[in-house]
Amino acid sequence: MTQSSALDRFCLDGKTALVLGIGPAIGSAVAHGFAEAGANVVVAARSADAVDNLVETLRSRHGDVAAGLATDAGDPVALDRLLAFATERFGGIDIAFYNAFALDAGHYRTFTGYVSPLDCTEEDWSACFNLNVMAPFRLAKALVPSMKARGGGVIINNLAAAAFTPIMPAMAYAATKSALATMTTYLAKGCGPEVRFNAIAPSNIEATQRSETMRAAARAFPLARMGSPDEVVGAVLYLASPASSYVTGQVIFVDGGRVATA
């Protein structure tokens, strides 16, 4: 295979990609990556301003390839509205990147003092289960039939290193991300060969974790630094593209070696 033909396998021309949960870092970077690879992009997040700003930026850089809708991923009605919007705008969805999540409330106190996992509340469990498990299940259930009708598709879930190694105090978050990892393998087995399911597991990504505490912790991992959102994009584009056409049910760790060497 020549170099040019190998790179061509990362092309997403003619595809429509959904990024559900854009955030300030990974989701936005992935949306730009999809557009640069040639895909139309539909973005969604709770903040209408964040969605509008990202759509405007995508259009200014890549042309009329982007659309967005403010959406609560945990609301089944809002999710149905988003999928109808994407279908009306671009005709359907070929690729979905599920990037929405809920954290234990204690996570936000992590850097001001230790929080025990026993401080996890039933409200934490409910919020994490709905957004980290049920919402991606609803997305898969809604998309797989239409993807099969379109000839195939790809769904990529964003997990977390905490799903594979304890990172205090995010117990409900980690446990539900572990459930999402298991669900990804079940869906890969049950929805093939037309639809592929894979996941990424990032950790210590600079734009989402800027504290010096996290930077110092990252220096103990094999790559000895924080990662950047752009370093996550490569893994997602690989899983979304024909370059990974024989890959399903897998997790790619983008964590500087954190989990493998824990």
Among residues 160, 179, 180, the alpha carbon closest in space to that of 170 is found at 160
Specify the amino acid at residue 141: K
Q: How many helices (DSSP H) and strands (DSSP E) are in the chain?
A: 9, 7
From the list 98, 108, 114, 173, the catalytic residue is 173
H-type alpha helices, 91-221:
122-129, 135-149, 171-191, 212-218
Q: What is the CA radius of gyration of the chain?
A: 18
Distant-in-sequence, close-in-space partners of 141: CB < 8 Å, separation ≥ 6 = none
Is 173 a catalytic site residue? yes
Angle ∠(192,160,41) on CA atoms, nearest 5? 60
HSE-up of residue 118 (Cα within 13 Å, Cβ side): 0
The catalytic residues are 173
